[in-house]
């Protein structure tokens, strides 16, 4: 199906939240810099009536159709409609299920749709981690740092908070503490032994850019502010690196990393540390 004006329609049909579809679709779409998908997301499609609306919209705006439906009647009708109007469709979960069945030598047990979202122990672990992380954001309640799995440190605008929240959504209790020249580091931070402490840093140029954008969004004037002064920012970075070296905290450069990439690198450090730690 040809695109128009460098965009194309992308229909994501799910019988659950649609998170899986969105993640896969955006990962692939990101590889095409010259075209932009117009996303049409249809979560919780579990009946023929709900599917009717989806089919009407697909026919009105033809494009790629990705789906994670498990109900065979819905799948058959969706695929049949797509063939009829000559648009491509693909089940994201179907090929993976077939691979599992072939390897395990057994069919699926027919669990209800959205089974990956059941309220199990892993779910409540993520909720607990998120609660902990929100309470221990930006240097708050440092007396509870020893209960963290990971503690992130770094100067302002090194993405400590969004990275902490991302890790919490993976079940990792994460606190973060800002490093500010002239302000003593909390003694609780310097004596930690159980949590993994990771120092996030970036180049002064990148920090200045992010900080200027931040001040601009707030309507503040940065022309005479040490917050964006090149020399002051460079001194902040040097201070943070020196402190990290003193405590042997692993350094992670976030200059060109997305939140997801930063979190992935931290999770690897955390996993390696857990694997190498002697059993208690």
Q: How confident is the model over 18-49, as pLDDT tens digits?
A: 888 999 999 999 999 889 999 999 999 999 99
Which range scores top for mean pLDDT: 39-43, 112-116, 118-122? 39-43
Q: What is the pTM of this model?
A: 0.71
Region 96-121: mean pLDDT is 72
Whole-number Cα distances in Å, 26 to 16, 39, 70, 217: 18, 10, 22, 27
pLDDT of residue 164: 97
């Amino acid at each position: 199906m040809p695109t128009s004006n460098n965009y194309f329609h992308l229909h994501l049909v799910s019988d659950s939240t649609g998170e899986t579809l969105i993640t896969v679709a955006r990962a692939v779409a990101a590889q095409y810099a010259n075209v932009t998908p117009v996303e049409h997301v249809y979560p919780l499609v579990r009946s023929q009536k709900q599917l009717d609306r989806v089919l009407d919209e697909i026919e009105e705006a033809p494009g790629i159709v990705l789906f994670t439906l498990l109900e065979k009647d819905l799948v058959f009708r969706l695929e049949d409609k797509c063939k009829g109007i000559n648009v491509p469709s693909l089940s994201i979960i179907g090929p993976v299920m077939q691979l599992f069945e072939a390897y395990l030598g057994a069919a699926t047990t027919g669990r209800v749709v959205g089974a990956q979202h059941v309220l199990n122990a892993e779910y409540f672990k993520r909720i607990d981690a998120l609660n902990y992380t929100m309470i221990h954001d930006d240097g708050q309640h440092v007396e509870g740092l020893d209960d963290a799995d990971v503690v992130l440190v770094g100067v302002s605008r090194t993405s400590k908070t969004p990275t902490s929240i991302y890790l919490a959504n993976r079940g990792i209790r994460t606190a973060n503490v800002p490093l500010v020249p002239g302000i003593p580091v909390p003694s609780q931070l310097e004596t930690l032994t159980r949590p993994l402490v990771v120092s996030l840093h970036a180049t002064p140029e990148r920090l200045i850019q992010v900080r200027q954008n931040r001040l601009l969004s707030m309507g503040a004037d940065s022309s005479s502010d040490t917050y964006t002064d090149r020399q002051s920012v460079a001194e902040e970075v040097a201070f943070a690196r020196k402190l990290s070296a003193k405590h042997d905290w692993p350094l992670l450069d976030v200059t060109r990393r997305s939140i997801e990439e930063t979190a992935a690198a931290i999770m690897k450090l955390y996993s390696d540390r857990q694997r190498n730690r002697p059993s208690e």
